[in-house]
Amino acid sequence: MTDSIATHGWTAQPRDVSILLSGKKNIKLPEPVKVEDIPLPDSQLAKEVMEYAKKELREETFNHSMRVYYYGMAIKTQQFPSWRLSSETYLLTCVLHDIGTTEKNISATLMSFEFYGGLIALDLLHKQCHAPIEQAEAVSEAVIRHQDIGESGKITELGQLVQLATIFDNMGGHADLVHKETIENVVKHFPRKKWSSCFAATIRQENRLKPWAHTTALGEKEFPEGVEGNELMAPFDV
């Protein structure tokens, strides 16, 4: 069980990023890293889930998910080298974190997209792909909490990493954690295709369909407008 806790990112970390970074912009100055330098898990489980994600997600969302993987791996390697969570578990989380936003899934439930997505991820991984329950539940919790941004309490290591990487790609948050050349290389492999306007539209769609949605906790106007105003990624948002 101890190995499963570390491997699947269950280790508790502060939810407050300022505490995580000890009040600094970063722990270490980021260095350039290329996609080809970051291993992509090629296990049977990873292949099955990647195939599922490519089929279910629109291209813009799949590309975002992959950018989140590579930015997150760069952050983990350079800023938190002691974190032991596996790249496989992180990849599964990345490609499934927005599964609840598909046209089919967003209208299939009254639940907030992250919560429904977490249930989809749990079923897919454990029941269909026979992943270990500790891994499936870790991914499910991280998907459910990937927009649970705040200053109190704790979050799993896996959840914190996917939060950092999604905020970075969606809003340019914590810009000092990743080198600009890393952004250029990742976007070259996984183009944004006007992701800022695409995701902002998805936020507004959910808020319209589900005015109670958890997404509203980030600001009904502030969140989509913050995504559209992502200055860090604006030069690449084509």
Q: Would you state the pLDDT for residue 2?
A: 61
Inside any domain, residue 238: no
Inside any domain, residue 202: no
Cα(135)–Cα(96) distance, integer angstroms:
13
Cα(220)–Cα(57) distance, integer angstroms:
24
Owning domain of residue 161? 2-190
Write out residues in the chain with pLDDT < 50, as ranges.
Answer: none
Per-residue pLDDT reduced to its tens digit, 146-185: 999 999 999 999 999 999 999 999 999 999 999 999 999 9
Q: Would you state the pLDDT for residue 38?
A: 98
Q: Would you state the pLDDT for residue 1?
A: 58
Inside any domain, residue 66: yes
Inside any domain, residue 75: yes
Q: Would you state the pLDDT for residue 238?
A: 87
Task: Tell me how many domains the chain contains.
Answer: 1
17: domain CATH number? 1.10.3210
Inside any domain, residue 232: no
Inside any domain, residue 224: no
Contact 149, 218 (CB under 8 A): yes
Cα(83)–Cα(9) distance, integer angstroms:
8
User: The whole model's pTM is what?
Assistant: 0.97
Inside any domain, residue 58: yes
Inside any domain, residue 205: no
